[in-house]
Chain A
Amino acid sequence: MLPANDATGLTERGITYTVSTEANMTCVVLSGYRLPPGYDREQADLLLRLNPGFPDVQPDMWWFDPAIRLKDGRAVKATDVTEHHLGRTWQRWSRHFDAGQWRSGTDSLESYLALIGRELERCVQHPN
């Protein structure tokens, strides 16, 4: 179950999502997440796995199904690992916060999605 401000934040932005738990993690699947231009598809399902203790505990990595690449066929760095969650196969985006980058108890799902959006745009220019 998501904190109220995270749930309303997703709903207000018109995002279709499901929440479930697996291995103690709160799994949020955003259906048809819109990718920025430059990728080989316009949308993919985005999986976020939130630790118990979120939003004090920072999230770590995110996952796409289907796997995405750049339009020209190049792969983005640190996206080559495939994992199984919720009975599906996901492409793992291995991205981690530096110490102090996540403001514990202040940052939210909204700030995490903003960070994911920025990173996806950055990787179009700098896939490696």
Chain B
Amino acid sequence: MTIASEGYVRFLGEAERLGAVPIWVHTHPGEDSWPKASRWDNEVDKQIADLFRLRSGTEYYSMLIVSPRPRCFTFTGYLQSESGNPVPFGRAWIVGDRIASVRAFDFPAPPLHAAFDRNVRAFGGGIQQTLADLCVGIVGCGGTGSAVAEQLVRLGVRDFVLCDPDQLSASNVTRVFGSFPTDIGRDKVDVVAAQLARIAPEAEIRANKSMITSEETARELCECDIVFGCTDDNAGRLVLSRLATYFLTPVIDCGVLLSSGAGGQLLGIDGRVTTLVPGQACLVCRGRIDTKRAGTELMTPGERKRLEEEGYAPALGRVEPAVVTFTTLVAATAVSELLERLVGYGPEPRPSEILLRCHDREISTNLQEPGPRHYCHPDSGKLGLGVTTPFLEQTWPQ
């Protein structure tokens, strides 16, 4: 069989226009087939690699062979620069309403540790393996973020990217998992990282002592398979919302709002867990971000003070009430949402937001479509666009 170049050349041009790397994909059909390159496949690669690089304007050639398996698929493939050795693909990460991870044919899973026996009895070895393979970002290492981290590491996640610019204060010890009075003054990411390392010494943990509103930190998050938003700032949520669209990284964003009267009596306890996946409204479309406050949060202190004094900017810095039971409840709901998306135990259609009205002892869920003309809408052409200039097509502080 020969494949005429007219069949694929136009896609190389499309890749160049997008600044993307084209992948030469073919199947080896049959559930008992091997998705490994044949001698003929290697010959084809040699023949077309230079044409692919030239016409798509990238230094990479990439190929993928896919074979069917019962209810799933298997694959091999690689990415190769002009001078370097081929870098094999280890894992496919599938993002949609459900999320799934598939290991490459030549990257078989190592045996699972007996410690996870009770998990495996609940949701099976495949899901347990996926958890072990995931790289998870946690933005915000306070009450909610530390509780998310604690659960994930006990579930079997072994690769973390933590982000938080703040230090642990005395009033944080009431909520932050793994924190002790002796930790006061330490960076929150270090406190949480130490706790994760106590539970799983082999875990890989990258701790960023900065906000994701800094471009450098935001860029680190695109390496994550999934990100938990546990920050209470509006500006950080704006970045997470865009990240979910541009990198197809599922974001599970959570928040807790306690309303208290002047005398300190608790009036309302509202928790929210919103899952950002393609086809669902982003945090902006849902009205979950106060963009005016976000603007103020990102100003230099001098500018903010000047505009606050003139009455042109909302005053920030109010200390919000927070209680460990509610931050932990919302964190557990968020981590359960990851499990549901992996296992699929819930009803369909799958809601993309869970609202916990704790004071009423009520839970409600909803689905929301992307706003027309917004970046989260499939028609915008932004879904999976990847690295752009400027990053995430927004302005950044310098």
**Stretch with Cβ within 8 A of B (4 or more), from A10-18, A31-39, A46-54, A63-71:** A46-54
Our pick among A1, A24, A55, A96 for the contact of B298 (Cβ within 8 Å) is A24
A24 touching B375 by the CB < 8 A rule?
no
Cross-chain pair count, CB within 8 angstroms: 85
Q: Is the interface of A mostly helix, strand, loop or mixed?
A: loop
Cα separation A5 to B394 with both chains bound (whole Å): 11
> Bound complex: CA of A21 vs CA of B302, how far in Å?
16
29 A-B pairs with C-beta separation under 8 A: A1-B389, A1-B396, A2-B395, A3-B394, A21-B398, A24-B298, A25-B303, A50-B395, A51-B295, A52-B394, A53-B235, A53-B238, A53-B291, A53-B295, A53-B298, A53-B395, A54-B395, A55-B394, A56-B241, A56-B242, A57-B291, A57-B294, A94-B312, A96-B312, A102-B291, A104-B284, A104-B291, A105-B284, A105-B374
The CA of A2 and the CA of B23, in the complex, are separated in Å by: 31
**B374/A106 in contact, CB under 8 A:** yes
What string of 1s and 0s marks CB contacts (under 8 Å) between B353-372 and chain A? 00000000000000000010
A56 lies within 8 A of B300 (CB)? no
Known: A1-B389, A2-B390, A104-B284. A56 touches B298 (CB 8 A): no
- How does the 8 Å CB contact mask read for B365-398 relative to A, with 1 for contact and 0 for none? 0000001011100000000000011100111111
Measured in the bound complex, the distance between the Cα atoms of B292 and A51 in whole Å is 10
Residues of A that sit less than 8 Å from B by CB: 1-5, 21, 23-26, 50-58, 60, 94, 96, 99, 102, 104-106
Assembled-state Cα–Cα distance A74/B241 (Å): 46
Whether A99 pairs with B292 at a CB distance below 8 angstroms is: yes
Whether A24 lies near B299 (C-beta < 8 A) is yes
The winner among B374, B393, B395 for most chain A CB atoms within 10 A is: B395
Asked if A1 meets B299 with Cβ closer than 8 Å, knowing A24-B398, A52-B397, A58-B292, the reply is no
CB distance from A86 to the nearest CB of B (A): 14
Question: How many residues of B are in contact with the other chain, CB < 8 A?
Answer: 32
> What are the residues of chain A within 8 A of B371 when measuring CB–CB?
106
CB distance from B374 to the nearest CB of A (A): 6
* Residue B213 is within 8 A (CB to CB) of chain A in the complex: yes
Q: Contacts A53-B235, A102-B291, A104-B291: A24 and B397 contacting too (C-beta < 8 A)?
A: yes
Contacts of B395 in A (CB 8 A): 1-3, 26, 50-54
Could you tell me the distance in whole angstroms from the C-beta of A43 to the nearest C-beta in chain B?
26
Which residues of A are found within 8 Å of B284, using beta-carbon distances?
56, 104-105
B164 vs chain A, min Cβ distance (A): 19
Q: How far is the CB of A89 from chain B (nearest CB, A)?
A: 17
Q: In the complex, which residues of chain B have a beta carbon less than 8 angstroms from the beta carbon of A105?
A: 282, 284, 374-375
Using Cβ atoms and an 8 Å threshold, which residues of chain B touch A99? Answer: 292
Give every chain B residue within 8 A of A2 (Cβ-Cβ): 390, 395
The chain B residue with its CB closest to the CB of A94 is B312
* Residue in contact with A4 in the complex, picked from B213, B298, B393, CB distance below 8 Å: B393
Asked whether A24 and B292 contact (CB < 8 A) given A2-B395, A53-B213, A60-B312, the answer is no
What residues of A have a CB within 8 angstroms of the CB of B238 in the complex?
53, 56-57
Question: Cα distance A57–B289 when bound, in Å?
Answer: 10
Neighbouring A residues of B213 by C-beta, 8 Å: 52-53
Cα of A26 to Cα of B219 in the assembled complex, Å: 20
| Cβ contacts under 8 Å, A3 to chain B | 390, 393-395
Considering the complex, give the chain A residue whose CB is closest to the CB of B214.
A52
A79 CB, nearest partner CB in chain B, Å: 14
